[in-house]
Amino acid sequence: MAQLHVPHTGVWDAFTHSHMSVLTLFLLYAVPMSVIPPVMIYYAGVTYGGGLLPAVSDVQLQIIGILLFLTELAMTFVVAYLIQRMGDVIDIKPAFEDAYKLAVVVPTPLWLAPLFLFIPSFMVNLTAVSAALMLSGILIFYSVPSILKVEEKGHAILLSGSILSAGLVVWAAMMFLTLISLSMITSSPML
């Protein structure tokens, strides 16, 4: 929605009109960004012990980090597929390349929020994640018209809302899977 009222910047126009392959976006953007949360969770777990995160061993933290990393990468493709399918809501058929571009740009604040784990404060980190969720929502409304080439304002708002809803469900599912894996790993006597 903000996209409809904010003038385009040169960098944003260049990005939205670029024809980067899915593989390029995956390797040069999604993979490096997906490394941040597991590394920061590992850092916080090792540095703060049970103060900020549940007390778990190094091996348990490494397993959780690997699972989170792989889940994040898989979810970029799932979300891109959902975005492409949601084009039917407004009778458009976005290319998978464009849907993937949107799927990796939008979670950028969520990928960067774990950097706040350098600060050992639960409230600071809760605020950072909340702000990241809001910024990701804003990015959806800003990005849909330009990346998916939606011209009509009503259609852009409808599609953006649908993508936001699906994205929140996927994010919640990913967090749920992470918590389940944390529970399974911490209850395992082998680790």
The amino acid present at 11, given as its one-letter code, is V
The span from the CA of 110 to the CA of 136, in Å, is 7
Axis crossing angle, helix 122-147 with helix 96-105, rounded to the nearest 10: 150
- State mean pLDDT over 91-106: 94
Is the per-residue pLDDT at 46 higher than 60? yes
The span from the CA of 172 to the CA of 189, in Å, is 28
175 contacts: CB under 8 Å, gap ≥ 6:
none
Is the per-residue pLDDT at 129 higher than 90? yes
pLDDT in tens, 47-80: 987 777 777 888 988 999 999 999 999 999 999 9
pLDDT in tens, 151-164: 899 999 999 999 99
- State mean pLDDT over 30-48: 94
So what's the pLDDT on residue 9?
Answer: 63
